[in-house]
Amino acid sequence: MSDNLEKIVSEICTRYGNDASRMMDVVRDAHARFGFVSSACADAIAAALKTPRVEVESLVSFYAFFAAHPRAKVVIRLCNDIVDVMHDGHKVWETFEQELGIKTGETTKDGAFSLEYTPCIGMCDQAPAALINDVVVTRLTADRAREIVRELKSGSDPAGLVKEFGDGNNAHELVRAMVVNNIRERGAVVFDAEDMQPGTGLKNALAMSPAEVIRAVKTARLRGRGGAGFPAGMKWEFTRESAGSFRTVICNADEGEPGTFKDRVILTERPDLLFEGMTIAGYAIGAEQGILYLRGEYAYLQPFLENVLNERRASGLLGQNSAGKAGFNFDIRIQMGAGAYVCGEETALISSCEGLRGDPKTRPPFPAQRGYRGQPTAVNNVETLCCVTRILEKGPGWFSQIGNGKSAGTKLLSISGDCKKPGVYEIPFGITLQQLLVKAGGADAIAVQVGGPSGSMVGPKDFGRQICFEDLATGGSIMIFGPGRNLLQVVQKFMEFFVEESCGYCTPCRVGNRLIKERLDRIIAGKGEKTDLAYLEQLVEMVKAASRCGLGQTSPNPVLSTLKNFRQCYEALLLKETGGMQPAFDLKEAVKDAENIAARASVHC
Amino acid sequence: MAKPKLATASLAGCFGCHMSILDIDERILQLVELVDFDKSPVDDIKEFTGRCRIGLIEGGCCNEENVHVLKKFRENCDILVSVGECATMGGIPALRNTIPLKECLDEAFLNGPTVHNPSGRIPDDPEIPLLLNKVYPCHEVVKIDYFLPGCPPPADAIWAAVAALLEDKPIALPYELIKYD
Ligand SMILES: Cc1cc2nc3c(=O)[nH]c(=O)nc-3n(C[C@H](O)[C@H](O)[C@H](O)COP(=O)(O)O)c2cc1C
Ligand code: SF4
Ligand code: SF4
């Protein structure tokens, strides 16, 4: 048995050249083979990769999709994002629990099923959703949950749960998913296929010098679509000019910001546009390698994307003398993630690509100076790279005149929540929130979360503001909250998410977010008072200022923005007079254990 | 004009902070010129005799009686100061906070290697205050106005803080008084 294990592990490691920096892939394959990474398996991997065992254990313990203890054959991951909650997700979750006879977080006695919660899996427009092993199931109801359990119990493979395929490439034989695209509005850059000429962008780029390509991207005024909005051309220039022995292009397809799902639709419908963009980026910065970092939740797209890459290789667009350009040897590999939001942060993402825990690195040095394997690296979002292809195809002037004059181009927005038409909207920058709400059929909104939990929550007085870099910036997530929604419950959910996803490296984020959540819980429980708001304000500033990476620096935003825009929600819950006591302290509760042990009642309660 | 009153209490502490109060040495004479001691172990007054300007608290709350005393202090003092690590954070007593109460008591009175307890009973005289499920720092039970760090805070820090509070001036603690390495 153990000989066998070593043999299998050794085969897996050989597949990745016994290269310790490919440990993500090794562990992923081993995990798929054995269902978990046992102690013996960790030993075998460490031996084969010639790395300390603790590196393997550390990696396994970091990612939500890896386990060091036996997990069930079928792992059901219930997406418990706020949008799923709003769509009666709890009814679905309760049904799964009842039907399986376990609580979420447990495994059935026979080892057949595990139930877990997972944050946003990128299906907010078709919530409630769940991942059953790698299979995505959407639009769940209690009835459907019952059927699913029945089918699985009767031995059906999770893939068999998909009865009807979604539209477009969701029905492709390598995808076969029930996911739907929900493209509600096609804009000129990414989704309007009418005048798109695949391959032209790359051809034009290769006819130019790399410096000219970078200049074109600068002239187009392309800014990053992943959230931070950094000018793409400038990033490429830094990367090109940094000294190093090789350079790398990384496409960030981690799409972990709750409420964002537009990259999923690009990956499904426009993979060539993306890979062309990556190739152009590779040419511009002088890279030979591209990495697509694909979130573990989108594993169902992996075979399809691998196939697209193979086709590009076959037609000479990748590999030796890519696209016929002598001396330009560029190829792309896919790096699968494994369920960690922080890996969307570019330095954590690089750690993950290097076969490490997804811990962010200290910046500076920035990835453009020292990124993947210590060499200059350009990390860009999926949508950003698609824009690149179109800029090189149609010219920077064409691109920069789309938008509101300041922010150039279109933006893909993932709209979900209380609206009639959730889905992906490609819209020129400059649209007001109000216009957007009307389009999506959510004009009666009481609040909109722009940019996901790390963005901000705004109310009707801000609905006249524009979606653009200069005003309301967003990586794409737009969550709509209709009349009657409890906004503080939303904030609570977001803080729960950050507490869960903090990598734990630095204290302000690891501890600070917990303290914020505790104080928020206290207020929501009706035990807060005025000074708690002041305390929250102080804490929020501290966590933002003292955290090491973008996660901690933005994690207090749900509280910060609602304290600013929805202060009345907090104030309505505050106690008036407390006489100097702390209402959250409950003496009765605190002496209960001792009362039981001593078998007498407290004289003070 | 009557002198302002000062009260002190030791809750779940080791009395080290009170020792530090006494460490102000001959300045205690100056202090009694400035204030009257009210409820305090220093003069053994058990109950408040009137409203106090300042209450100094050593130790956090480990039992119901501590809570009772602390609440009385809050009701009777204008300014309440957590003095020392135990009052501020729970300190050494809070080391038990990760262990269930029953386990703590069993270890202390039944199972510990040095325990001699032929009766096999955990002390349960009604005179003994019931323990809380964990040790709470004072500010989780009542509002605390100031925190003096240290284990114990040096006498000079206590003196500087009390003097400033009595004179209604900002408390200026030089670096040397709050540096602990
Ligand atoms: C916690 C955290 C999560 C992030 N998640 C993503 C993500 O899922 N996708 C993405 O493109 N950028 C994400 N980013 C931003 C990236 O760090 C980086 O700025 C971006 O990928 C750069 O690409 P761009 O300039 O093309 O936008 C995240 C940042 C933080 C701090
Ligand atoms: S801010 Fe949070 S996620 Fe970022 S390094 Fe610190 S603990 Fe990790
Ligand atoms: S802070 Fe130190 S000196 Fe003061 S009571 Fe606690 S242990 Fe004793």
**What HEC string does chain B produce?**
CCCCEEEEEECECCCHHHHHHHCCCCHHHHHHHHCEECCECCCCECCCCCCEEEEEEECEEEEHHHHHHHHHHHHHEEEEEEEHHHHHHCCHHHHHHHCCHHHHHHHHHHHCCCCCCCCCCCCCCCCCCCEEEEEECHHHCECCCEEECCCCCCHHHHHHHHHHHHCCCCCCCCHHHHCCC
Model pLDDT, residue B149: 94
By CB neighbour count within 10 A (0-12 exposed, 13-18 middle, 19+ buried), where does B130 fall? buried
Q: Of the residues A448, A481, A514, which one is the last residue of a structural domain?
A: A481
In angstroms, how far is the first alpha carbon of chain B from the final one? 44
| pLDDT of res. A175 | 97
Asked if residue A395 lies in contact with residue A188, where contact means CB atoms within 8 angstroms, the answer is no
Test B131 with A602 for CB contact under 8 angstroms: no
Is the pLDDT reported for residue A3 higher than 80? no
Query: Do both A214 and A280 map to the same domain?
Result: yes
A444 and A470 inside one domain: yes
CATH at residue A241: 3.40.50.11540
Are residues A394 and A152 in contact, defined by beta-carbon separation less than 8 angstroms? no
Q: How far A271 CA lies from chain B's nearest CA (Å)?
A: 52
Residue A515, min C-alpha distance to chain B (Å): 13
Q: Taking the C-alpha atoms of A116, A120, A126 and A129 in order, what is their torsion angle to the nearest 10 degrees?
A: -10
In this structure, is residue B115 part of a structural domain? Answer: no
Does residue B100 sit within a domain?
Answer: no
> Once rounded to an integer, what is the mean pLDDT over residues A60-66?
96
A513 in any annotated domain? yes
Residue A1 has pLDDT above 90, yes or no: no
What is the mean predicted confidence (pLDDT) over B96-108?
96
Q: What is the CATH number of the domain that holds A509?
A: 1.20.1440.230
Q: Work out how many domains chain B is built from and give that number.
A: 1
**Residue A529: inside a domain:** yes
Same domain, A315 and A336: yes
CA A273 to CA A202: how far, in whole Å? 10
Q: Say yes or no to pLDDT of A537 above 90.
A: yes
Return all residues near A66 (Cβ < 8 A) that are at least 6 apart. A27, A28, A31, A36, A37, A59, A60, A338
A581 with B141: Cβ contact below 8 A: yes
- A377 residue type, one letter: T
Q: Given pLDDT bands bounded at 50, 70 and 90, which one contains residue B63? A: very high
Asked if residue A117 and residue A30 are part of one domain, the reply reads no
Examine residue A164 and state whether it is found in any structural domain, yes or no: no
In angstroms, the first-to-last Cα distance of chain A is: 62
pTM: 0.90
Q: Which domain holds residue B144?
A: 5-94+133-178
The answer to whether A100 and A113 have CB atoms below 8 angstroms apart is: yes
- Residues B154-175 as b/e (b if ≥16 CB within 10 A, e otherwise) read bbbbbbbbbbebbeeeeeebee
d(CA B70, CA B61): 8
pLDDT tens digits for range A286-299: 999 999 999 999 99
pLDDT over threshold 80, residue B181: no
What are the tokens at A172?
A: 């492709």
Contact A597 B140 (CB under 8 A): no
**Measuring CA to CA, which residue among B151, B141, B110 is closest to residue B17?**
B151
Rounded Cα–Cα distance for residues B51 and A23 (Å): 68
Sign of CA dihedral A74, A80, A86, A88: positive
Residue A536 has pLDDT above 90, yes or no: yes
Residue whose token pair is 């005179």 = B127
Q: In sequence order, what are the beta bridge partners of A479?
A: A416, A449
A193 pLDDT band, cuts 50/70/90, is confident
Ligand with an atom nearest the CA of residue A230: 1
Q: Is the CB of A34 under 6 A from ligand 1?
A: no
Which pLDDT score is estimated for A578?
Answer: 83
Asked if residue A94 and residue A38 are part of one domain, the reply reads: no
Inside any domain, residue B121: no
Are A396 and A415 within one domain? no
Q: Cα-Cα-Cα-Cα dihedral of B5, B10, B16, B17, to 10°? A: -40
Asked if residues A258 and A429 have their Cβ atoms less than 8 Å apart, the reply is no
Residue A438 in contact with partner chain B when CB distance is under 8 A = no
Least confident of A46-60, A149-163, B167-181: B167-181
CB B58 within 8 A of CB B11: yes
Residues A492 and A476 in one domain: no
Give chain B positions within 8 Å (CB) of A582.
139-143
pLDDT at A71: 86
Do the beta carbons of residue A13 and residue A20 sit within 8 Å? no
CA-nearest of A298, A453, A484, A584 to B142 is A584
- The CATH number given to whatever domain includes residue A90 is 3.40.30.10
Q: How many angstroms away from the CA of B11 is the closest CA of chain A? A: 16
Q: Report if residue B120 sits inside a domain.
A: no
Atom of ligand 3 nearest to the CA of B17: 4
Tokens of A123: 């299906």
The rounded percent of chain A whose pLDDT value lies above 90 is: 96
Q: Is the same domain home to A17 and A100?
A: no
A551 lines ligand 1 (CB under 6 A): yes
Digit-coded pLDDT (tens) for A226-262: 999 999 999 999 999 999 999 999 999 999 999 999 9
Residue B99 falls within a domain, yes or no?
A: no
Sole residue written with tokens 């869960």: A500
What is the per-residue pLDDT across A127-148, written as a single tens digit (0 to 9) for each? 999 999 999 999 999 999 999 9
Contact A590 B101 (CB under 8 A): no
pLDDT digits (tens, 9 = 90+) for A396-430: 999 999 999 999 999 999 999 999 999 999 999 99
Q: In the predicted model, is pLDDT for residue B1 greater than 70?
A: no
- Mean residue pLDDT of chain B comes to 95
Which numbered ligand comes closest to the C-alpha of A512? 2
End position of a domain, from candidates A15, A42, A62:
A62
> Is residue A2 very low, low, confident or very high in pLDDT (cuts 50, 70, 90)?
low
Regarding whether A346 and A243 lie in a shared domain, the answer is yes
Split into its structural domains, chain A has a count of 5
A175 assigned to some structural domain: no
Q: Which residues are CB-contacts of A561 (< 8 A; sequence separation ≥ 6)?
A: A455, A456, A457, A458
Beta carbons within 10 angstroms of residue B35's beta carbon: 18
Strand-by-strand arrangement of the A331-336 sheet: A331-336, A289-294, A248-253, A377-381
Asked whether residue B178 carries a pLDDT value surpassing 90, the answer given is no
In the numeric block, the tokens 């509280």 are attached to A559
What is the count of residue pairs from A and B with beta carbons less than 8 Å apart? Answer: 71
Range of the domain at A390: 198-400
Closest atom, ligand 1, to C-alpha of A382: 11
In the prediction, which pLDDT does A366 show? 97
Mean pLDDT of chain A: 96
Would the pLDDT of B47 be above 60?
A: yes
Ligand 1: residue of A379, A391, A494, A509 to mutate (most ligand atoms within 8 A of CB) is A379
Residue A194 predicted with pLDDT over 90 = no
Does A579 touch chain B if contact means CB atoms closer than 8 Å?
yes
Q: Has residue A96 got a pLDDT over 70?
A: yes
Q: Is B118 inside a domain boundary?
A: no
Q: What is the pLDDT of residue A423?
A: 98
Q: Is residue B10 part of a domain?
A: yes
Q: Is A580 within 8 Å of chain B by CB?
A: yes
Strands B36-37 and B5-10: parallel
Q: Which atom of ligand 3 is nearest to the CA of B20?
A: 3
Asked whether residue B162 is assigned to any structural domain, the reply reads yes
Distance of alpha carbon A197 from alpha carbon A187, whole angstroms: 16
- The answer to whether B142 contacts A593, with C-beta atoms less than 8 Å apart, is no
Q: Report if residue A112 sits inside a domain.
A: yes
- CATH value at residue B144: 3.40.50.700
Based on the fold, state whether residues A500 and A456 are members of the same structural domain. Answer: no
Indicate the helix (H) or strand (E) that contains A114. Answer: strand A113-118
Domain boundary among A62, A93, A110: A62
pLDDT above 70 coverage of chain A, percent: 100
Two structure tokens written together for A413: 């927005």
Please state the length of chain A: 605
Distances from the Cα of A336 to the Cαs of A73, A139, A299, A370, in angstroms? 21, 26, 7, 22
Strands A331-336 and A477-481 turn out to be unpaired
The DSSP annotation for A66-86 comes to --SS---SEEEEEE--HHHHH
Identify whether residues A368 and A454 lie together within a single domain: no
Which residues in A lie closer than 8 A to residue B74 (C-beta atoms)?
A: 579-581
Name the 3-class secondary structure at A222.
Answer: coil
Mean pLDDT in residue range A119-128: 97
Let me know whether A531 and A469 are in one domain.
Answer: no
Residue A345 CB–ligand 1 contact under 6 Å: yes
Mutation target to probe the B interface, by most B beta carbons within 10 A, among A581, A589, A595 is A581
The complex's ipTM works out to: 0.92
Cα–Cα distance, A76 to A148 (Å, whole number): 11
User: Do the Cβ atoms of A174 and A302 come closer than 8 Å?
Assistant: no
Q: State mean pLDDT over A25-31.
A: 97
